């Protein structure tokens, strides 16, 4: 009986898993790639505008 209470108490002490962790990581990665692409595109546009 004591081991059952030990299992219950250890289950309460375990850190909770972040359900949205993977979704947040994928969203941040996609946003980073998008903004990097926009920055590179703007750089090309400025260079082409200055070049003639």
* Separation between Cα atoms, residue 35 and residue 29, nearest integer Å: 10
Give the per-residue pLDDT at 50: 94
* Separation between Cα atoms, residue 30 and residue 40, nearest integer Å: 15
Asked if residue 50 belongs to a domain, the reply is: yes
Asked if residue 3 belongs to a domain, the reply is: no
- Written as six digits, the tokens of 21 are 């962790």
Convert the pLDDT of each residue in 1-52 to its tens digit.
Answer: 566 667 777 766 766 677 788 899 999 999 999 999 999 999 999 999 999 7
Asked if residue 39 belongs to a domain, the reply is: yes
Counted domains in the chain: 1
Give the per-residue pLDDT at 9: 72
Asked if residue 33 belongs to a domain, the reply is: yes
Domain coverage including residue 40: 20-52
* Separation between Cα atoms, residue 6 and residue 21, nearest integer Å: 29
Asked if residue 14 belongs to a domain, the reply is: no
């Amino acid at each position: 009986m004591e081991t059952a209470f030990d299992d219950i108490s250890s289950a309460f002490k375990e850190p909770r898993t972040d359900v949205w962790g993977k979704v947040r990581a994928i969203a941040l990665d996609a946003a980073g790639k998008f903004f990097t692409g926009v920055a590179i595109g703007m750089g090309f546009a400025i260079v082409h505008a200055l070049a003639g």
